[in-house]
Amino acid sequence: MQKRKLGKRGLEVSALGLGCMGMSQSYGVPPDKHAMISLIRTAVERGVTFFDTAEIYGPYTNEELVGEALAAVRAQVVIATKFGIGRDAGGQQMQDSRPERIKQSVEGSLKRLRTDVLDLYYQHRVDPNVPIEDVAGTVTDLIRQGKVKHFGMSEAGVRTIRRAHAVQPVTAVQSEYSLWWRRPEDELLPTLEELGIGFVPFSPLGKGFLTGTIDEKTTFVSSDFRNIVPRFTPEARKSNLALVDVLRTIANRNKATPAQTALAWLLARKPWIVPIPGTTKLARLDENIAAAAIELSAEDLRAIESAASRIAIQGARYPEHLEKRTGL
């Protein structure tokens, strides 16, 4: 697989990474751990070098899974993980990026990931109670100590990114981005290009919707996160299938799938964009990886843009209480 560079500090990764969250949570009952270890190792064999996890995924069990899967090939891969989301006494998630908490988090992540250095360490969500300069300064200390190589931010607003970048250069920003969530184009992408920061889109397939395998009749198990997402109500899904139809039309031209077309569209946006589609299935892994070899023509890209501009996507991407935690 081709490589891409994130930021200006020499971080090179495969053009597509692998988001590992769904192997431990959010999309129903987590699959068998050993099957997921095998899947991650297969991804390495297929050329994927970029793996995304977080302390809160599981919590903790996803880092353990990724660490076990990649231990034997640690020198060949880039592992990204995240700090800054914890749980309160009632088990509810909360932002916590106090310097002392970051220092605790890094030690736990290093141990669970079976490594002595984290390649990319994201602040998972901005903590409104901790100045971002204090967060960036703490990561600077961890870099000096050799525990972290690169600083990242997730779902942060452009003003916060600028403030953080002035203290410790940010290598990559991670946020949701796909054909059905394009808000990063307004302010975020121009800012990242100006500052020389890489971009890592999560949910590049719209939490599975852009694969073309979900319609208004699809049901999700009770523990599936999508049950509480406004964009996944049956009514919204029925309306939003118009976007999948656009992808399917272009896919058929290129003997590809809607998912591959959605990923190829992202890769064509900028050379410093590295999507991290997640999956728990080998067939989907192979399908996604094959997208890296698809080059959409200028005509394809114009057709997607023209058709998508006439489609109003229905439903919010998050419930209100989760959307409030983004873009600070």
Could you tell me what percent of the chain has a pLDDT over 90? Answer: 94
How far apart CA 231 and CA 43 sit, in angstroms, is: 30
Confidence of residue 1 (pLDDT cuts 50, 70, 90): very high
Q: Which amino acid is at 108?
A: G
Q: Is 262 a domain residue?
A: no
Q: Is 302 a domain residue?
A: no
List pLDDT tens digits, range 225-238. 999 999 999 999 99
pTM of the model: 0.97
Q: Is 71 a domain residue?
A: yes
Q: Which residues pair with residue 181 across a beta bridge?
A: 178
Q: Give the helix ranges, DSSP H, for 125-228.
A: 132-144, 158-167, 188-195
Residue 91 confidence (pLDDT) above 90: no
Which tokens is 54 given? 């977080």
Range of the domain at 101: 3-206+269-292
- Look at the alpha carbons of 273, 279, 282, 288 in this order and tell me if their dihedral is positive or negative: negative
Average pLDDT value over all residues in the chain: 97
CA distances for 73 relative to 109, 115, 286, angstroms = 18, 11, 20
Residue 90 confidence (pLDDT) above 90: no
List pLDDT tens digits, range 240-261. 999 999 999 999 999 999 999 9
What is the DSSP code string of 4-42?
A: EEETTTTEEEESS-EE-GGGTSSBSSPPPHHHHHHHHHH
List pLDDT tens digits, range 259-295. 999 999 999 999 999 999 999 999 999 999 999 999 9
Angle subtended at Cα 302 by Cα 300 and Cα 306, rounded to the nearest 5 degrees: 120
Q: Which residues pair with residue 223 across a beta bridge?
A: none
Which tokens is 315 given? 């439903």
Give the total number of structural domains in the chain: 1
> How many helices and strands in the chain, by DSSP H and E?
11, 11
Q: Is 44 a domain residue?
A: yes
CATH number of the domain that residue 27 is part of: 3.20.20.100
Confidence of residue 41 (pLDDT cuts 50, 70, 90): very high
**Is the Cβ–Cβ distance between 167 and 138 less than 8 Å?**
no
Q: Is 214 a domain residue?
A: no
Active-site annotation, residues: 57
Q: Is 323 a domain residue?
A: no
Average pLDDT over residues 139-166: 98
Q: Is 231 a domain residue?
A: no
How far apart CA 237 and CA 207 sit, in angstroms, is: 12
* β 118-123/78-83 pair status: parallel
